[in-house]
Amino acid sequence: MTDENITMSDNSDLEDGSPPELRGYLSKWTNYIHGWQDRFIVLKESTLSYYKSELESNLGCRGALCLKKAKVKPHEFDDCRFDVSVNDCVWYLRASNPEEKQQWIDVLESFKVESGYGTSSDSSTNGSGLRRHGSVTSLQSTGSAGRTNRRLAEKIAEFDTYTDLLSKQAVTLQGYFDMAAAQINDDEAIDAVKYADGINLSQYSQEVRATSASFRATCAAAVLAAQTCADLLRRRETRARQAEELYIKPLIEQYFGGTLDVELVCSEADEPPTRSTETFLQLSCFISQDVKYLQSGLRS
């Protein structure tokens, strides 16, 4: 279970001194209506962010914490839960097992030591910070921080290759039909191109031409639509990345002091209950139109 949930960048990231990227699924407390929900958590540089799923990680985060200012605290009674807080903003997180929880805590604490925000005694104990956790946390090496983006780029390139082949095949097929129709229209070849039942193929030459032309036009339209979709994907990815760099991160730093959690803002969620009582809590809450507008603005 841990192998599937946690991924980290290569050991090369550790060797060149750059902070590694940690990512994986954890359960996050949202509110009393939805309770614990699986969220895709990403540690990158000095920011801990979460997304609804890995597929949405390119569309902007739903919340972020400045890890340099954060406090990481394991829960007193729940062996799988730990809390990450910055001032009054608290994320309640739960791993699938105690071992996975401890791995997350170790990496988060070690990142603070590596970035110079830990105690000097911790720094001397850890030595090179995250380096001592390399054999534990690099359970599934990803090769780079942009694994999802790179995969999308590869698929788009593969799709472009297929569309080129489709266009060439359509042109070739059109040529075959043209040659067949020309042979059928040749007076000397009419007798040689008849079916066994005596049907003359020359009467179908115009239909073959029309059908092949329609096929080519359909292929051209399909290729154009596919190219448009590919261009939209590229533009969407670029705009999302630019928006995150230009607007979302400065907004978090300026207005939220390095913290932002859309789910907590929109739900008035209190601290989650313990395992023994959470199944009995069925409360309702109402979200104002202003908060809905804020949420839609952050997601767009």
**Residues 287 and 202 occupy one common structural domain:** no
Looking at residue 261, the DSSP 8-state letter turns out to be E
Name the nearest CA neighbour of 208 among 165, 178, 183. 178
23, 32, 178, 196, 209 from 206: Cα distances, Å: 61, 70, 10, 21, 5
**Residues 126 and 210 occupy one common structural domain:** no
**Residues 204 and 125 occupy one common structural domain:** no
CA atoms within 13 A on the CB side of 236: 15
Give me the pLDDT at residue 294, please. 47
Give me the pLDDT at residue 272, please. 62
**Residues 229 and 281 occupy one common structural domain:** no
Contact (CB, 8 A) for 241 and 71: no
Structural domain ending residue among the three candidates 196, 226, 242: 242
**Residues 126 and 262 occupy one common structural domain:** yes
| CB-based contacts of 86, cutoff 8 Å, min separation 6 | 65, 66, 69, 70, 71, 257, 258, 259
**Residues 175 and 290 occupy one common structural domain:** no
Give me the pLDDT at residue 293, please. 46
Pairing type for strands 71-74 and 35-44 reads unpaired
Q: What are the φ/ψ torsions at residue 92 (nearest 5 degrees)?
A: -100, 115
| CB-based contacts of 167, cutoff 8 Å, min separation 6 | 219, 220, 223
**Residues 120 and 190 occupy one common structural domain:** no
**Residues 43 and 72 occupy one common structural domain:** yes
Structural domain ending residue among the three candidates 225, 242, 259: 242
**Residues 84 and 183 occupy one common structural domain:** no
How many C-beta atoms surround the C-beta of residue 248 within 10 A? 17
Give me the pLDDT at residue 285, please. 37
Structure tokens at 83: 């809390």
Give the domain range for residue 211. Answer: 149-242
Q: How far, in whole angstroms, is CA 253 from its chain's centroid?
A: 24
Give me the pLDDT at residue 81, please. 92
Chain position carrying tokens 């230009």: 246
Q: How far apart are CA 161 and CA 173, in angstroms?
A: 18
Give me the pLDDT at residue 93, please. 92
2, 105, 203 from 190: Cα distances, Å: 72, 83, 10
**Residues 165 and 75 occupy one common structural domain:** no
**Residues 57 and 125 occupy one common structural domain:** yes
Structure tokens at 12: 């090369």
Name the nearest CA neighbour of 58 among 241, 235, 232. 241
Q: How far apart are CA 10 and CA 21, in angstroms?
A: 9
**Residues 27 and 94 occupy one common structural domain:** yes
Give average pLDDT by consecutive 10-residue segment, the chain, 300 residues. 50 46 86 85 81 79 77 87 84 90 86 57 38 34 46 63 69 72 58 50 62 69 73 74 69 58 50 47 37 48
Structure tokens at 140: 């599934």
Give the number of domains in the chain.
Answer: 2
Name the nearest CA neighbour of 42 among 32, 54, 31. 54
The model's pTM is 0.40
Q: How far apart are CA 73 and CA 75, in angstroms?
A: 6
